[in-house]
Amino acid sequence: MPYIKLDSKSFSHNLHTIVSQTNSTINNIAIVLKDNAYGHGLIEMATLANKYGITSCFVKSEVEAHSIKHLFKHITILYPNFDNATEDNMYISITSLETLKKTQNNKTIELKIDSGMHRNGISKDEIKEAIKIIKSKNLRLFGVFTHNGFADEIGSEFYGQFHYFTEIKKEIIKLCKDNQIQIPRFHSLASSGAFRGASLNSSLPQELQDSIFRIGIALYGYCTSEIYNIKLKPVASLWAKKISSKTLKKGSTIGYGGVSKLDRDLTISTYDIGYGDGLFRIKKDINLTTKEGFSIFQVASMDCISIESTLDEVCIFDDATTWTSAFSTIPYEILSHLHANIPKKIV
């Protein structure tokens, strides 16, 4: 079987780089573990995060939350199914007044604000009503947050969203004080946002500051914007094992439709990963090599690929950006598509 190697030193490097770049402490860093930790393996990444002292995380569902409940003090469920049980260290993200009204009394929640992405979240003019419902249902308001979706773009939108959320915080604090509700934690900045907004955040009066940064992709080792010159190290490398080798004559073709044709006699091997494992499909005209520099022949099959190698195992990539270029996408997609049943090894 193929497997994913998770490099704990790279994870530690990323964590300390993020702490340093954002002029914060590990207590300010929450890890985003949703979608099987962006394909890296939920339990494995949760274990690493716990080992290095991270106490807050964000997951997608109650199912994800339950599988790592022993590893974190604070677990926020971003896309809850409201009929599933939660435990004391699990907080439900609430993204609309409608779901807030349906929430069971006495639950702990984090309230999502729409500060300009117009996906999910309560709008500014719904906040007063939201606090009223929270009070009447005796909900514990653990956090109020938003997602600044403009950190990777040059331009002022990032700052617009930042200041908009600061105004929201002021209103929340006032409403909480008026209603004897404990003031919640605030957070709005993900990886690029934290790099861009950390100093702006610390220039705010203490009570208006975001207390955590919600870090996903940067902890996994990717900086997705050229705005920031930050050296991170990819945590995951993808490895495949040899199925068999074959010595072929010049002119032989390989795979479906015989797309690849050998220009000389060559010994090649098949390896046990394909697009059925969630890897992107190497089609005609996609030229990729393994980490070792061996050519991968077009076209990939569902369960195997042919490579100009005879090694027992090869590294398909140790940096997903080689694949993001080939497929015009972002590392998030290459990584999160990898299927959960690929075994993980922490090194």
Catalytic residues: 34, 256
- Residue 283 interacts with a second copy (CB under 8 A)? yes
Q: Which stretch binds a second copy (CB under 8 A): 13-21, 133-141, 167-175, 251-259?
A: 251-259
Q: Give the whole-angstrom CA distance, residue 280 versus residue 291.
A: 16
Q: Which two tokens stand for residue 168?
A: 């929201």
Are 173 and 195 contacting, i.e. CB atoms less than 8 angstroms apart?
no
Report how far apart, in Å, the C-alpha atoms of 166 and of each of 49, 113, 152, 189, 192 are.
29, 11, 20, 12, 18
Q: Which stretch binds a second copy (CB under 8 A): 133-141, 162-170, 254-262, 313-321?
A: 254-262
Q: Which of 134, 136, 86, 95 is nearest to 115 (CA)?
A: 95
Q: Which two tokens stand for residue 94?
A: 């609430």
Residues 19-38 interacting with a second copy (rule: CB under 8 A)? 34-35, 38
Q: Give the nearer residue to a second copy in terms of CB position, either 52 or 79.
A: 79
Burial class (CB in 10 A: 0-12, 13-18, 19+), 287: exposed
Query: What is the x/- site pattern for a second copy, positions 139-178, by CB under 8 A?
Result: ----------xx-xx---x---------------------
The answer for residues whose C-beta is within 8 angstroms of residue 189's C-beta and 6 or more apart is 148, 151, 196, 197, 198, 201, 210, 213, 214
Q: Which two tokens stand for residue 136?
A: 């009447």
Q: Give the nearer residue to a second copy in terms of CB position, either 88 or 125.
A: 125
Long-range contacts of 52-57 (CB under 8 A, 24+ apart): 52/11, 52/12, 52/15, 52/26, 53/26, 54/15, 54/26, 54/29, 54/30, 55/27, 56/29, 56/30, 56/31, 56/212, 57/30, 57/31, 57/32, 57/33
Q: Which stretch binds a second copy (CB under 8 A): 5-13, 196-204, 246-254, 310-318?
A: 246-254
Return the exposure string of 181-206: e unless at least 16 CB atoms fall within 10 Å of the residue's CB, then b: beebbbbbbbbbbbbbbbebbeeeee
Q: Where are the beta strands (DSSP E) in 87-167?
A: 90-94, 108-112, 140-145
Q: Of 131, 254, 296, 307, which lies in the binding site for a second copy, with binding defined by CB under 8 A?
A: 254
- Residue 210 interacts with a second copy (CB under 8 A)? no
Q: Of 281, 319, 321, 346, which lies in the binding site for a second copy, with binding defined by CB under 8 A?
A: 281
Q: Of 101, 102, 163, 246, which lies in the binding site for a second copy, with binding defined by CB under 8 A?
A: 246
Q: Give the nearer residue to a second copy in terms of CB position, either 185 or 281.
A: 281
Q: Give the nearer residue to a second copy in terms of CB position, either 53 or 276.
A: 276
- Residue 103 interacts with a second copy (CB under 8 A)? no
Q: Give the nearer residue to a second copy in terms of CB position, either 233 or 283.
A: 283
Q: Which two tokens stand for residue 290?
A: 């393994």
Q: Of 12, 47, 61, 211, which lies in the binding site for a second copy, with binding defined by CB under 8 A?
A: 61
- Residue 272 interacts with a second copy (CB under 8 A)? yes
Q: Which stretch binds a second copy (CB under 8 A): 45-53, 168-176, 206-214, 250-258?
A: 250-258
- Residue 95 interacts with a second copy (CB under 8 A)? yes
Q: Of 12, 50, 252, 295, which lies in the binding site for a second copy, with binding defined by CB under 8 A?
A: 252
Q: Which stretch binds a second copy (CB under 8 A): 131-139, 162-170, 248-256, 313-321?
A: 248-256
Q: Give the whole-angstrom CA distance, residue 79 versus residue 34.
A: 9
Site residues (vs a second copy, CB under 8 A):
1, 34-35, 38, 60-61, 63, 78-79, 81, 95-96, 98-99, 114, 116-120, 123, 149-150, 152-153, 157, 243-246, 248, 252-258, 268, 270, 272, 275-278, 280-281, 283, 301-304, 306, 328-330, 332-333, 336-337, 339-341
